[in-house]
Structure 1
Amino acid sequence: MNLIVNQITFPKVDAAPLCWLLPPRCLVCDAPGLPGRDLCAGCHAALPRQRHACPRCALPLPHVALCGACLRQPPPLDAVHAAFDYAFPLNRLLPRLKFHRDFAAGRVLVQAMAEHFAALPPPPLLIPLPLHRSRLRRRGYDQALELARPLARALSLPLGCDVLERCKPTRAQSTLDADARQRNLRGAFRVLPGASVPAQVVLFDDVMTTGATLHAAAGVLRAAGAQRVEAWVCARVA
């Protein structure tokens, strides 16, 4: 069932408990939120929805076309779909979830992403990129899974949480240049023993920068039998 608010149609995502008792407030500007979500109409309209991008890596471009990097060396991903460019207010909401345990921000992101990804063909399996267990212990939660689980539920998609494992601790990608990111991720992923990998899969991550992490996971899935690997991301860094 969809919720229709001020001519905006939202795929249904579970709202916060007692939302009827506490009227929603916009997490970006603190104005009254739209019914059922912590985002006002103005900030909802201002979300940096991705319009034109490279279909292989989702790099924002003036028009839809393969970027120079993908023309020179096709990546292991057949396609990348980004719901948003990494710009205001996404660049405020995503860090609140990723580093500050703000699950209300995560709920807003899922609601916004569901509007975008509902228009795409549903994949046979949505696989969130896993954290290494050491980082999971430090952070206490996996932000990609916290987004992928309710997104899959909202879109009625099968979620593959038991397919990939991050088997090698790596340095934070944000501290490395593009070449170092690739070296950092060699051997970082494996397909879990006994996991079934369908011919077509979609990887999910919160943010894509150079794509090195998604590429490393895609290579492992291809080696395990996947013939087509795509990625969905909440936001793409230009």
Structure 2
Amino acid sequence: MDKAGLLQPWHALSRWLLPLRCLLCGAPGEQGVDLCAACATELPRNRSCCARCALPLPAPAALCGECQRHAPPWQAAWAPFRYGWPLDRLESRFKFGGDLAAGRTLAMLWRREPMPLPKPDLLLPVPLHRARLRQRGYNQALELARPMARHCGLPLRHDALLRRRGTAAQTELDAVGRRRNVRGAFVVRAGVALPAHVAIVDDVMTTGATLAECARVLKRAGVARVDVWALARAPSPRG
């Protein structure tokens, strides 16, 4: 059964029935989220990063070395958090453990971050293949994109960008393997008219291979500007 949209309907009721409780340490939650002040302070913000791919950098720079050598197919990226403790624990529970409370907390944290990019005309979550969707029960990118779309006052389409074939899990592959794995995996639904500026939404950006393939498909479909929105950006595997 598809659990799409489950992060929101029971939110008000759960807040009335249950007090806020930190999902990491069990202490009372604060500021309207299921995190205590101490754990919330540890969240790794991605303040110093590449303007093009959001790669965390030790010092502010316009572009990282990789983007200077090979510009990605998107215009700009926004990833307000780095993929590290304790956000990575919440993300893993949400993505692989079916923990919708963790997903709701992540979505709320994202909404509170200032958006540094121009607003797109449309949000498109990275799609799951139907087999993976049946297995997991929901698309974590879509569940994060829904509240972001409401918060920003933007339209959202989950049916415009499709994953036409299943792929192996990206987590076990290196950068080259990730690019090969997703090559030709996405397609724009026939008959869909896309606006000039769209943003692709995902939970975590690692090498960017999946997002790059989505961006190429959208560019070929006539989209003039593609941005990337991801909750978190993984650091360089080279450290």
TM-score normalised per structure 1: 0.91
Counterpart for residue 127 of structure 1? 124
Distance 1:75 1:18, change over 3 A: closer
Whose strand fraction is larger, Structure 1's or Structure 2's? 1
User: What 5-or-longer segments of structure 2 have no aligned partner?
Assistant: 1-7
- Please tell me whether the aligned partners of residues 78 and 117 of structure 2 are also in contact (alpha carbons under 8 angstroms): no
How many residues align? The count is 226
What is the SS of the residue equivalent to 1:55?
A: coil
User: Which of 66, 79, 89 is 1:92 aligned to?
Assistant: 89
Matches within 5 A, 1:196-211: 196-211=193-208
Q: Deviations over 1:129-156 (max 9, x none)?
A: 0001111111111111111112212222
- Please tell me whether the aligned partners of residues 191 and 221 of structure 1 are also in contact (alpha carbons under 8 angstroms): yes
User: Which of 52, 55, 62 is 2:48 aligned to?
Assistant: 52
Structure 1: which 4+ aligned runs deviate by more than 4 Å? Answer: 117-120
User: Which of 147, 150, 159 is 1:150 aligned to?
Assistant: 147
* % identical aligned pairs: 55
Q: Deviations over 1:167-226 (max 9, x none)?
A: 011111111111111111111000001111111110000000000000000000000011
Asked if residue 32 in structure 1 is aligned to residue 39 in structure 2, the reply is: no
Cα distance in 1, alignment partners of residues 124 and 213 from structure 2 = 14
User: Which of 143, 155, 166 is 1:169 aligned to?
Assistant: 166
CA RMSD across the alignment: 1.5
TM-score normalised per structure 2: 0.90
* 1:120 to partner: Cα distance: 4.3
- Please tell me whether the aligned partners of residues 24 and 35 of structure 1 are also in contact (alpha carbons under 8 angstroms): no
* 1:21 to partner: Cα distance: 2.7
* 1:122 to partner: Cα distance: 2.4
Cα distance in 1, alignment partners of residues 76 and 117 from structure 2 = 12
Counterpart for residue 7 of structure 1? none
Matches within 5 A, 1:58-97: 58-61=54-57, 62-97=59-94
Cα distance in 2, alignment partners of residues 154 and 199 from structure 1 = 21
* 1:107 to partner: Cα distance: 0.7
Distance 1:35 1:60, change over 3 A: closer
Matches within 5 A, 1:132-143: 132-143=129-140
